[in-house]
Amino acid sequence: MVEAANLRRESIDLEALLLSRTYLYTLFHKLLGGTPDEAVLTVLLSDETVDAVEEFTGDNPSMQGLGRFLTDLRECVDVSVLLDSARDEYTRLFVGPTALPCQPIESPYLTHELADFQENTVVVRGIYRDHGLQLARLMRIPDDHIATMCAFMAHLAGKSLCYLREGRLEKLAESLRDQESFVRGHMLTWVDDFAVCARRSKTSVLYPQMIEALAAFAHNDADLLSEAALWAERSADAHGTQQLALGADVGSPEAAVFAELKTALGYLESVRPFGIEDHELVALAV
């Protein structure tokens, strides 16, 4: 009984982390995948975003810095004032028309070649396809764009959250290992360099800080995924096919908090900044 109770408590802690990372990957997808608008910036500066960041911060200085940065923005900047500067910064970093100061795609960091569509682009496309997904506007933007990678991770994060709530520990472990492999194999390979490059850009309104935060988040996430997968594997071995009640009980204080963040996530998923359609993943046609 004690062991089952401990497992339940641990699963609630994991549920909080999985929900927060689903939210944060979705936020990075929207922020890096389309020209910022008032809706995106309002979500960025919301209480729910601050709560999700705090859930994930731990003792990581960069993530702590993100929390302070968002708090300062909330206290000192009006969204309408921030919006024009953020749009200009996004256009210069992600759109052009002049040469981009930093490529927001993985391949050039691996090969040091400037071509957008490279061998690695096809590799990443294959990973999406293995999960039944592809870009909604295939061949318009390279598949290994940072915004699309965040969309992919948000999708997988949501699935792992479902596996936890359903008590499917083996599927949860498999999903977490899969996500760890993608983060280590296709995000940590270049996001640090991308963040350093963005920091050298002419302005520092919003995006250099958020790209740096994404790099820190990805490192934290890789470690979390490894630890959580090990927990799921050990729990699955210990309990076999036993039906487990995991996650927060309906009506519990934890469930109420999670419901608020889930509602905020639903709204965030509905936000559509201009250009986001280039970085959205859809189900493969059967």
pLDDT, position 198 = 94
Choice among 4-13, 33-42, 101-110 with the minimum mean pLDDT = 4-13
| Paired sense of beta strands 281-283 and 133-135, if any | antiparallel
Domains of the chain in start order, with CATH, are 2-283 (1.10.3480.10)
Amino acid found at 75? E
Q: How far, in Å, CA of 33 to CA of 188, rounded?
A: 19
Residues 50-95 pLDDT 10s: 999 998 877 778 788 888 999 888 887 788 889 999 999 999 999 9
Task: Enter the tokens of residue 166.
Answer: 């359903």
pLDDT, position 176 = 98
Quick one: which of 2, 33, 3, 284 has its CA closest to 153?
Answer: 33
Task: Enter the tokens of residue 180.
Answer: 């760890």
Is 70 exceeded by the pLDDT of residue 123? yes
User: Would you report the helix, strand and coil content of the chain in percent, each value rounded to 5?
Assistant: 70, 5, 25
Which pLDDT band, with edges at 50, 70 and 90, does 12 fall under?
Answer: very high
Task: Enter the tokens of residue 224.
Answer: 């979390």
pLDDT, position 109 = 95
pLDDT, position 55 = 87
Residues 6+ apart with CB under 8 A from 13: none
pLDDT, position 216 = 93
Cα separation of the two ends of the chain: 45
Residues 6+ apart with CB under 8 A from 181: none
What's the rounded mean pLDDT across residues 275-284? 97
Residues 156-199 pLDDT 10s: 999 999 999 999 999 999 999 999 999 999 999 999 999 999 99
Instruction: Please compute Rg for the chain using Cα positions.
Output: 19
pLDDT, position 5 = 76
In three-state secondary structure terms, 275 is coil
Which pLDDT band, with edges at 50, 70 and 90, does 240 fall under?
Answer: confident
Alpha-carbon dihedral of residues 179, 184, 187, 193, nearest 10 degrees?
A: 160
Which range, 18-27, 77-86, 243-252, is most confident?
Answer: 18-27
Residues 96-114 pLDDT 10s: 888 889 999 999 999 988 7
Find out whether 56 and 238 touch, Cβ atoms under 8 Å: no
